[in-house]
């Protein structure tokens, strides 16, 4: 008789964090299914999650710590003990910390434990920390957090229950997976209309009622045209604007002055507005005023000022934003844009959602019902991965605000613990005091102006990746995609140790794998590596492992404790806060350790504050111990549920030694449902905000004013005009002045503006295959049967024009290189766009695959023709290929040309870097 058991834990095959039930038979994996009680997936599970068994059995799993023996990149290693690995690292990091802690750069990939890894960096004292957000979604996060105090994807979701019109921007099969699919099914069941703006019609776009094949990088312009139409038609929710946004705040209008474009304030620092009833200036937050949204007013000191809305209305009413003016550029007929605008207005204003649910605003006023605009929006990669993505995302948020579609019934809603004050958190942490002193705050933060940037006296970046500098002032997730290039450039003086966790930086996470691996192996005049020491923590033999000097083998997600914390990126929903854990289900049977355990032990050995016992040595025995006992602030720890000595406290409460057991008993998660009066208008909902403050989500229960007009950007812009003590270097002034516009702008993506469009007339992007959404650990015996190699897809008409037929090999050429791909024609794609599935191509030798695997021979990466740098411009060092506001990697700005390969061209992709499989000398065979 076999022994059967079921464990509840959290999936980690992608970023969704679905609850799973893992069935075991005699200690071996039998079946993984969705947990029906779990708030994220409600019992469903995607293809990837269902293939978790094959990931747990992957031949690419690392099994022991490794130390490099051959040249970097050769794959030659010797197996070493954990004690040796930790001793090596402790010695190295102790020396760094004693001289200059910033010489440790810690970059973590799709890490779901950033509250730990970031805290480690802070206590170590290095500003050089970031996670993968800089090459993923920082445009969405920054635009959302600075505009709404929430964001698409991580911190918000559509109101699936009440939306009548759903606008989906730039989302293929990704971000997120199961919740969007569940939501689309609900919309379909209610007959709501789904419109997808995407150059490619697959997945979600395939089932949309309307597919708009927008030209990549023009979504922002299209949205501004929608705004133009709504303004023209007078279809604006002015009541929402004056109650909940800064639309009526007066903006100083004295061009050339040091305060031009800033919000006019009274002596107490309160923003001013003009009350039309009283005919006077008043504090904008005053109740029962009739604020002007247009006009020009005189401040007490004689200066002129205008409502923020007036600036907005004038700008987008211009003919240059009319559908007819943008149609050609966006690849969308003007009539369609006008019709969509009319549909938005109709859904918002003729079919409001009315819930007979009283609620009380922050002024104490009771509202008898909740009235909302049933136009929900969601956006992700296709907006984010462009160098104009921050402003494009801001444009969507402005559209939401203009029609009152933020956290009202039927619209987009905050996921708990959001909204947060705008922007949440303080400025990024700085080095204070002698080496060894913790930073004064977490390394990633929210600059509000020049004073918060991390720059030296010349205005140049302090951080390795130049985040929070004039090159990327609101880089709130850092620029992981630039870390290796900048470490290479700067040499050993700047960075000694580069510690990478869970990110394939030498392959599909590199903007250019060839350049990245060259830089990782480059030596200086003395034959020393320019990046002196590279440490890679990963569970699998990815392409990056071969470039490590020291490899810290991680476990798979089924072999570890983890927490999906409210301090980081939790699983809360619009219905209330939630968090979850992972528990070890399998015994690894390999000499591997969870990276978080290793980091906690390392921190103890280094003597870092918050990680070291009073008598010295590690304070926490493991990550599980840290999850239970660590307190970020009194009573607030990684998990919010089952706190307090008896496990009854939520949010705040002393650590509960039984907390993990209680989570296990509860199915691996904790969730709390908000009462109905708190479910909407959270930014101004008295009861919600009081509860959120009590739970420790926000510092104060003040209303959160939505930022139609983004004043912090204007502060940066004024500095670029020479005002203030901290100004950008001369070479960056025009750039800051242009891109730090407090109202959304649209501009041609930077690379496209600088490259020869006639030579590279086509856009090239990737989409995420649903069965492999998120590329980590994507080698999987079942999933690779579904998609073992990728094709380059192009429109039938374009193919005919270029003489390309299905299965032809073609060269995809960009300004920096070319890659060979097999073509497939289709109709559902923008006429000027080619695309492929992301991260299918792999490098021979990696991932435990055989030498003739199709992932090597015919699978390809577009990354080979992308560059992390924009075209150089002479004297100035080239800029990174990133959004100029946030530093977001501009993957989708790529332009290419296609050329059919000659018929005798071999049946394989190119470039195909040499195989560099790992050659590991076992510990026992080590020569003595």
Partner 1 sequence: MTMLPERAPGARKMGLVIDLDTCVGCHACAVNCKEWNTGGEAGILPDYDKYGANPDGVWFNRIHSYETESPERSRTVNFPRSCLHCENPLCVTVCPTGASFKRAEDGIVLINTDICIGCKLCSWACPYGAREFDEDNGVMRKCTLCIDRIYNEALPEAEREPACVSTCPAKARHFGDLADPDSPVAKLVEERGGVDLLAELGYRPTNKYLPPRQAQLPTGPEESPARPSQGVGAALLRLLDKALSR
Stretch that binds partner 1, among 174-182, 484-492, 705-713, 834-842 (CB under 8 A): 174-182
Interactions with partner 1, residue window 838-877 (CB under 8 A) = 848-850, 852-854, 857
Give whichever of 233 and 613 is closer to partner 1, judged by the CB atom. 233
Helix ranges (DSSP H) in 210-333? 219-233, 238-244, 308-317, 323-330
Q: Which of 50, 677, 867, 881 binds partner 1 (CB under 8 A)?
A: 50
Write down the number of H helices and E strands in the chain.
26, 35
Give whichever of 175 and 481 is closer to partner 1, judged by the CB atom. 175
Interactions with partner 1, residue window 79-108 (CB under 8 A) = none
d(CA 776, CA 792): 22
Interactions with partner 1, residue window 637-656 (CB under 8 A) = none
Interactions with partner 1, residue window 382-401 (CB under 8 A) = none
Interactions with partner 1, residue window 264-293 (CB under 8 A) = 276-277, 286-291, 293
Q: Which residues pair with 413 in a beta bridge?
A: 157
Residue 192 lies near partner 1 (rule: CB under 8 A): yes
Peptide bond into 911 cis (omega under 30): yes
Residue 826 lies near partner 1 (rule: CB under 8 A): yes
Q: Are 495 and 105 contacting, i.e. CB atoms less than 8 angstroms apart?
A: yes
Q: How far is the CB of 687 from partner 1 (least distance, A)?
A: 20
d(CA 784, CA 790): 11
Q: Which of 95, 98, 206, 490 binds partner 1 (CB under 8 A)?
A: 206
Q: Which of 112, 178, 387, 517 binds partner 1 (CB under 8 A)?
A: 178
Q: Which of 323, 427, 449, 749 binds partner 1 (CB under 8 A)?
A: 323
> CA separation (Å) from 93 to 2, 444, 451?
48, 21, 30
Chain mean position to CA 121: 20
Residue 242 lies near partner 1 (rule: CB under 8 A): yes
Interactions with partner 1, residue window 6-25 (CB under 8 A) = 25
Q: How far is the CB of 923 from partner 1 (least distance, A)?
A: 26
Q: How far is the CB of 248 from partner 1 (least distance, A)?
A: 8
Helix (H, G, I), strand (E, B) or coil at 292: coil
Residue 827 lies near partner 1 (rule: CB under 8 A): yes
DSSP line for 86-133: HHHHHHHHHHHHHH-GGGEEEEESS-S-HHHHHHHHHHHT-S-EE-GG
Stretch that binds partner 1, among 260-268, 314-322, 807-815, 897-905 (CB under 8 A): 314-322
Q: Are 562 and 34 contacting, i.e. CB atoms less than 8 angstroms apart?
A: no
> CA separation (Å) from 793 to 772, 796, 814, 820, 837?
18, 9, 16, 13, 9
d(CA 44, CA 91): 47
Q: How far is the CB of 221 from partner 1 (least distance, A)?
A: 16
Strands of 126-235 (E only): list them: 129-130, 156-158, 165-169, 193-197, 210-212
Q: How far is the CB of 241 from partner 1 (least distance, A)?
A: 8
d(CA 820, CA 700): 56
Q: How far is the CB of 63 from partner 1 (least distance, A)?
A: 17
Q: How far is the CB of 785 from partner 1 (least distance, A)?
A: 5
Q: How far is the CB of 303 from partner 1 (least distance, A)?
A: 23
Interactions with partner 1, residue window 536-575 (CB under 8 A) = none
Q: Which of 11, 14, 22, 32 binds partner 1 (CB under 8 A)?
A: 32
Residue 311 lies near partner 1 (rule: CB under 8 A): no
| Among 688, 521, 446, 419, residue whose Cα is nearest residue 74 | 521
d(CA 526, CA 826): 54
Q: What character string, x for contact with partner 1 (CB under 8 A) and - otherwise, covers 207-226?
A: x-xx----------------
For the CA atoms of the chain, what is the radius of gyration? 27
Q: How far is the CB of 891 from partner 1 (least distance, A)?
A: 23
Residue 313 lies near partner 1 (rule: CB under 8 A): yes
Give whichever of 715 and 791 is closer to partner 1, judged by the CB atom. 791
Residues ≥6 apart with Cβ < 8 Å to 466 = 472, 475, 479, 482, 486, 880, 887
Residue 168 lies near partner 1 (rule: CB under 8 A): no
Helix (H, G, I), strand (E, B) or coil at 582: strand
Stretch that binds partner 1, among 241-249, 584-592, 832-840, 902-910 (CB under 8 A): 241-249
Q: Which of 11, 15, 51, 326 binds partner 1 (CB under 8 A)?
A: 51
Q: Which of 621, 786, 877, 915 binds partner 1 (CB under 8 A)?
A: 786
Q: How far is the CB of 28 from partner 1 (least distance, A)?
A: 9
Give whichever of 205 and 387 is closer to partner 1, judged by the CB atom. 205
Interactions with partner 1, residue window 332-351 (CB under 8 A) = 334-335, 338-339, 342-343, 345-346
Residue with tokens 């006019």: 264
Peptide bond into 822 cis (omega under 30): no
Q: How far is the CB of 342 from partner 1 (least distance, A)?
A: 4
Give whichever of 272 and 293 is closer to partner 1, judged by the CB atom. 293
Peptide bond into 502 cis (omega under 30): no
Q: Which of 231, 764, 804, 823 binds partner 1 (CB under 8 A)?
A: 231
Number of residues that bind partner 1 (CB under 8 A): 98
Give whichever of 349 and 811 is closer to partner 1, judged by the CB atom. 349
d(CA 307, CA 311): 7
Strands of 186-290 (E only): list them: 193-197, 210-212, 250-252, 272-275, 280-283
Q: Nearest 10 degrees: CA dihedral of 191, 168, 409, 309?
A: -140
Q: Are 774 and 110 contacting, i.e. CB atoms less than 8 angstroms apart?
A: yes
Give whichever of 191 and 527 is closer to partner 1, judged by the CB atom. 191
The tokens for 387 are 């160098």
Stretch that binds partner 1, among 36-44, 133-141, 414-422, 493-501 (CB under 8 A): 36-44
Q: Which of 9, 108, 202, 836 binds partner 1 (CB under 8 A)?
A: 202
Q: How far is the CB of 324 from partner 1 (least distance, A)?
A: 5
Residue 408 lies near partner 1 (rule: CB under 8 A): no
Residue 234 lies near partner 1 (rule: CB under 8 A): yes
Give whichever of 514 and 848 is closer to partner 1, judged by the CB atom. 848
Stretch that binds partner 1, among 99-107, 697-705, 723-731, 779-787 (CB under 8 A): 779-787
Length of the chain: 928
Residue 314 lies near partner 1 (rule: CB under 8 A): yes
| Among 859, 862, 861, residue whose Cα is nearest residue 908 | 859
Interactions with partner 1, residue window 435-494 (CB under 8 A) = none
Residue 828 lies near partner 1 (rule: CB under 8 A): yes
State phi, psi for 78 to the nearest 5 degrees. -115, 145
Instruction: Work out the angle at residue 19's Cα, subtended by the Cα atoms of residues 687 and 840, and round it to the nearest 5 degrees.
Output: 120
Q: How far is the CB of 824 from partner 1 (least distance, A)?
A: 11
Q: Which of 7, 53, 254, 304 binds partner 1 (CB under 8 A)?
A: 53
Residue 713 lies near partner 1 (rule: CB under 8 A): no
Q: Are 241 and 293 contacting, i.e. CB atoms less than 8 angstroms apart?
A: yes
């Amino acid at each position: 008789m076999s022994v059967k058991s079921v464990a509840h834990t959290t999936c980690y095959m992608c970023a969704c964090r679905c609850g799973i039930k893992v069935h075991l038979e005699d200690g071996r994996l039998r079946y993984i299914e969705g947990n029906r009680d779990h708030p994220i997936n409600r019992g469903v599970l995607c293809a990837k999650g269902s293939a978790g068994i094959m990931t747990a059995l992957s031949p690419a799993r690392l099994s022991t710590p490794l130390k490099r023996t051959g040249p970097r990149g050769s794959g030659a290693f010797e197996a070493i003990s954990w004690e040796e690995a930790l001793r090596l690292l402790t010695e190295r990091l102790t020396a760094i910390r004693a001289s200059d802690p910033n010489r440790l750069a810690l970059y973590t990939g799709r890490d779901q434990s950033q509250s730990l890894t970031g805290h480690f960096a802070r206590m170590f004292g290095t500003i050089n920390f970031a996670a993968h957000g800089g090459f993923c979604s920082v445009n969405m996060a920054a635009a959302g957090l600075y505009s709404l105090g929430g964001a698409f994807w991580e911190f918000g979701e559509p109101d699936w229950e009440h939306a009548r019109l759903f606008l989906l921007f730039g989302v293929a099969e990704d971000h997120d997976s199961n919740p969007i699919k569940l939501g689309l099914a609900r919309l379909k069941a209610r007959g709501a209309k789904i419109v997808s703006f995407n150059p490619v019609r697959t997945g979600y776009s395939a089932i949309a009622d309307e597919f708009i094949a927008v030209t990549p990088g023009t979504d922002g312009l299209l949205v501004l045209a929608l705004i133009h139409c709504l303004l023209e038609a007078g279809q604006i929710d002015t009541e929402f604007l004056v109650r909940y946004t800064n639309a009526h705040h007066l903006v100083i209008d004295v061009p050339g002055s040091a305060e031009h474009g800033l919000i006019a304030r009274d002596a107490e620092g309160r923003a001013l507005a003009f009350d039309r009833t009283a005919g006077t200036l008043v504090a904008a937050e005053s109740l029962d005023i009739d604020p002007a949204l247009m006009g020009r007013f005189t401040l007490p000191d004689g200066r002129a000022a205008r409502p923020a809305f007036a600036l907005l209305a004038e700008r987008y009413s211009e003919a240059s934003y009319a559908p007819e003016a943008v149609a050609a550029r966006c690849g969308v007929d003007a009539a369609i844009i006008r019709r969509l605008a009319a549909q938005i207005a109709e859904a918002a204003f003729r079919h409001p959602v009315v819930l007979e649910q009283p609620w009380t605003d922050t002024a104490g006023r009771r509202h008898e019902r909740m009235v909302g605009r049933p136009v929900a929006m969601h956006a992700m990669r296709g907006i984010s991965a462009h160098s104009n993505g921050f402003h494009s995302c801001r444009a969507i948020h402005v559209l939401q605000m203009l029609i009152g579609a933020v956290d009202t019934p039927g619209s987009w809603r905050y996921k708990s613990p959001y909204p947060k004050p705008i922007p949440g958190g303080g400025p990024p942490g700085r080095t204070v005091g002698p080496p060894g002193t913790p930073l004064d705050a977490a390394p990633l933060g929210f600059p509000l102006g020049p004073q918060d940037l991390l720059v030296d006296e010349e205005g140049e970046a302090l951080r390795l990746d130049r985040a929070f500098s004039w090159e990327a002032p609101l880089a709130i997730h850092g620029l992981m995609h630039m870390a290796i290039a900048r470490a290479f450039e700067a040499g050993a003086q700047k960075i000694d140790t580069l510690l990478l966790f869970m990110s394939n930086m030498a392959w599909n996470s590199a903007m250019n794998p060839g350049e990245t691996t060259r830089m990782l192996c480059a030596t200086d005049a003395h034959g020393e590596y320019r990046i002196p020491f590279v440490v890679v923590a990963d569970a699998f033999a990815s392409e990056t492992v071969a470039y490590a000097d020291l490899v810290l083998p991680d476990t798979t997600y089924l072999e570890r404790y983890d927490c999906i914390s409210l301090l980081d990126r939790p699983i809360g929903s619009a219905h209330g806060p939630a968090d979850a854990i992972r528990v070890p289900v399998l015994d690894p049977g390999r000499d591997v350790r969870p990276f978080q355990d290793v980091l906690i032990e390392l921190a103890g050995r280094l003597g870092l504050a918050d990680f070291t016992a009073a008598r010295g040595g590690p304070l926490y025995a493991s990550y599980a111990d840290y999850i239970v006992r660590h307190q970020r602030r009194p009573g607030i720890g990684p998990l919010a549920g089952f706190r307090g000595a008896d496990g009854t406290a939520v949010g705040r409460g002393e650590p509960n030694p039984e907390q993990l057991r209680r989570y296990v008993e509860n199915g691996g998660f904790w969730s709390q449902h908000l009462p109905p009066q708190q479910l909407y208008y959270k930014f101004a909902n008295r009861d919600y905000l009081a509860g959120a403050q009590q739970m420790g989500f926000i510092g104060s229960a003040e209303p959160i004013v939505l930022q139609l007009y983004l004043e912090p950007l204007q502060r940066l812009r004024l500095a670029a005009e020479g005002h203030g003590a901290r100004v950008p270097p001369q070479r960056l002034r025009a750039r800051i002045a242009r891109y730090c516009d407090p109202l959304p702008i649209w501009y041609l993506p930077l690379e496209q503006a600088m490259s020869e469009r006639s030579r590279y007339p086509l856009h090239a992007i990737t989409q995420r295959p649903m069965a492999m959404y998120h590329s980590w650990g994507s080698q999987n015996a079942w999933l690779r049967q579904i998609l073992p190699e990728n094709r380059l897809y192009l429109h039938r008409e374009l193919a005919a024009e270029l003489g390309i037929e299905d299965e032809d090999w073609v060269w995809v050429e960009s300004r920096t290189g070319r890659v060979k791909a097999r073509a497939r024609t289709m109709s559902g794609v923008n006429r000027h766009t080619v695309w492929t599935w992301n991260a299918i191509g792999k490098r021979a030798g990696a991932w435990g695959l055989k030498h003739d695997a199709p992932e090597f021979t015919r699978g390809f990466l577009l990354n080979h023709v992308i560059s992390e740098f924009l075209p150089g411009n002479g004297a100035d060092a080239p800029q990174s290929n990133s959004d100029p506001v946030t530093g977001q990697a501009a993957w989708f700005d790529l332009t290419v040309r296609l050329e059919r390969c000659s018929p005798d061209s071999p049946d394989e992709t190119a470039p195909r870097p040499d195989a560099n499989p790992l050659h590991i000398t076992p510990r026992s065979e080590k020569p003595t």
